Structures are given as structure tokens and as C-alpha cells.
Amino acid sequence: MIERSTIIISVAIVWLYASLLTAGGAYSNAAPKTQFYCRTDRSGIEGAAPWISVPYPFQWGVPTFHAGEAFAMTAASFVALVESTGAFIAVSRCASATPCPPSVMSCGVGWQGVGILLGGLFGTANGSSVSMENAGYLYCTRIGSRRVVQISAGFMIIFSILGKFGAFFASIPGPIIGAIHCFLLGYAGAAGIVFLQFCNLNSFRTKFIVGFSMFMGLSVSKYFKDDASVAGYASLNTWQNDVIKVIFSSKAFVGGGLAYFLDNTLKRNDPEVRKDRGQHFWDRFRSAKTDPLSEEFYSCIPGLRENFPLY
């Protein structure tokens, strides 16, 4: 049990240490940037937060609709869809489950769209996407139960209503959050790279697609994040600039989209290439009915087939 909770225990210890340093005045004469990242009482978050705050639709006023902003949000939602698809595959791998068939993937994407709609109604000022950190944490705890996710979602809803609790967790110093991201995102990224074992990594075609897409995903997104406005894209309309930057600033979208395009165009009809690209591995997971582990799974739990039929 302790082994599976090492991250939570580590965060609690370092968070307590940061609180003691803040209360002892260790950051009183430090640089403003250091105080912002290291203090646990920055900006008076806990004092300003209400005890109870129930969110409701249109709490920030009646929504306004503009065609340009709609295109920008559509682009952001599409990028989130691509990133979430990769997270779904990583989660199934970290949970030691078989890859999700397209039908199940479509259900997840549909519910993500519902979440984005609800976020707009409640004025969250951000879209809804999956958390790659949860995929990494799933690998650390080795708990692949949907019941755990449902209970966690319930706690998140409760903490969003109790403002003091939300402010309390928001006081975690930034370096602690950054360290958690480095640790968990490493697991999540490795879960995706592991699927390359089903490809022929000795093939020049595979090496080119993997290396070129990874390099372009990092370099193109970096360019559009830092230099797009300087390079002349600022002369476009605001919504056009937003659409371009949102799409090409995503590393997963640029790298994954390019790899998908190259993998489905370069000699894809060659029988040897089909085996090199690992397509034979995915055939059994195109549908839940063709997955041999599905029947084994249903046979272990009586009554499960009637309540949760195969897609």
C-alpha cells in the first residue's frame, strides 16, 4: 500500500516542509519570482476563497457568439480530441488492458465533447481534455478500476463547491507540481513508445517516420509558440492567428498527425510494409467482439454481459 502511495506521501512531506519555510520567514527577503513559486500563502488564496460556492450555468453573464471565436474553439477542441486519443491508448496500456476498439474510443470522445459543452455553460474559461498525469499515476498504482475514477470525480465535484478546500490544494508550490509532471508524464510517454515493439524497428521506413515525426512535433510547435507572431502571422485576423497557433502549437497533434499521414501513404499496400508498421497487431482490437480477452473477462464476472454488452 505504501509503495503505491509514494507520490502522495512525497508531496505531503515536501508541501509541509515548504509551509514551515514560509511560516518561518525563509522567503521574506527572496526575489519576487522565488516567492511566487515557493511560498504556500501567495496571493492570499485561502483567505479570499469562500467556504461554499455552488457553480451554475451562465454565472459570468449571457454568452456571446462570434464566428471567428467559434472557429478557434473548434480548432482547440479538435486538438484536444487528438491528444485525448493518445491518452486513451496510454491509459489502456498502463492499466494492463487491451487497446480500446474504435467504438469505445468514439464514446470517450463524445463524452469529452459533453464535458467541453458543460465547461462553456459554467464559464470555466478552459476546455476539457484528459489528464496525462493520471495515466502515469495509473501505471504507478497499478489500479485499473473505473470505480476509483468515479470516486475521484465525486471528490473533485465536492472540492469545487467547498472553496476553502480548493484554495488549500491550490497553495501547493509550483516546483512540486512540476516534479510530479516530470515523473508521471515520463511514464505516460513511455506507455506510448512501448507500442513501437510491434513494429519492425530495423526498417528504414519505420525509423524515418518515428524520428522525423518526433523532431517535427517538437520543432514546429516550438516555432509557433515563440516566433509565429514575430514571423508575420500577427498580420492575420485575431481568430485566424488563434486557429493556426492552437493547431500547430500542439506537439502531439503535429507529431502524431504527421506520423499518421506518413504511415498511411508510404508503401502502405505492400504486404511486408503492413507487418513492418505493426498493423497485424491491431487487427484483433478493431472490435470488442474480436478481442479474445473480452470473452475471458466476461466469463470471470457473472451477470456482467447482461449489464455491459460488447460494442
The answer to whether the CB of 155 falls within 8 A of the CB of 203 is no
Q: What backbone phi and psi angles, to 5 degrees, belong to 193?
A: -65, -30
pLDDT of residue 194 exceeding 60, the answer is yes
Give the DSSP letter of residue 52.
B
User: What's at 240, amino acid-wise?
Assistant: Q
Over range 101-113, report the average pLDDT: 82
Coil vs helix vs strand at 84: helix
> What's the confidence (pLDDT) of residue 212?
94
pLDDT at 173 over 80: yes
* Cα–Cα distance measured from residue 163 to residue 186, given in angstroms and rounded to the nearest whole number: 32
Residue 127 has a pLDDT of 65
Mean pLDDT, residues 244-263: 90
Q: Where residue 307 falls among pLDDT bands split at 50, 70, 90?
A: very low
Question: Which helix (H) or strand (E) is 33 found in, with range?
Answer: helix 32-38
Question: What stretches of 171-278 show up as alpha helix (H) in DSSP?
Answer: 174-193, 204-226, 238-248, 251-263, 271-276
Rg, the chain, Cα only: 23
Q: Is the pLDDT of residue 70 over 70?
A: yes
Q: Which residues contact 311 (CB under 8 A, 6 or more apart)?
A: 101, 103, 104, 287, 288, 289
**Residue 169 pLDDT grade (very low, low, confident, very high; cuts 50, 70, 90):** confident
**pLDDT confidence tier of residue 72, bands split at 50, 70 and 90:** confident
What one-character DSSP code corresponds to residue 73? Answer: H
pLDDT bucket at 148, cuts 50 / 70 / 90: confident
The whole-number average pLDDT for the span 40-50 is 73
Could you please report the per-residue DSSP string of 141-177?
Answer: HT---HHHHHHHHHHHHHHHHBHHHHHHHHTS-HHHH
Average pLDDT over residues 14-25: 89
Domain assignments of the chain as residue spans, ordered by start: 1-196
Give the number of other Cβ atoms within 10 Å of residue 104's Cβ: 16
Average confidence (pLDDT) over 265-270: 81
Question: How far is residue 89's CA from residue 66's CA, in Å, rounded to a whole number?
Answer: 35
Q: Give the three-class secondary structure for 185.
A: helix
Predicted local distance difference test score (pLDDT) of residue 274: 82
Q: Among 37-46, 62-71, 256-265, whose mean pLDDT is lowest?
A: 37-46
Q: What confidence tier does 13 reach under pLDDT thresholds 50, 70, 90? A: very high
pLDDT tens for each residue of 217-241: 999 988 887 765 555 544 455 777 7
User: In the chain, what is the greatest distance between 2 CA atoms, to the nearest angstrom?
Assistant: 69
Q: Which residues pair with 162 in a beta bridge?
A: 52
Average pLDDT over residues 189-199: 85
Stretch 196-202: mean pLDDT:
88
State the average pLDDT for the chain. 80
Which one is predicted more confidently, 198 or 311?
198
How confident is the model over 298-309, as a mean pLDDT?
50
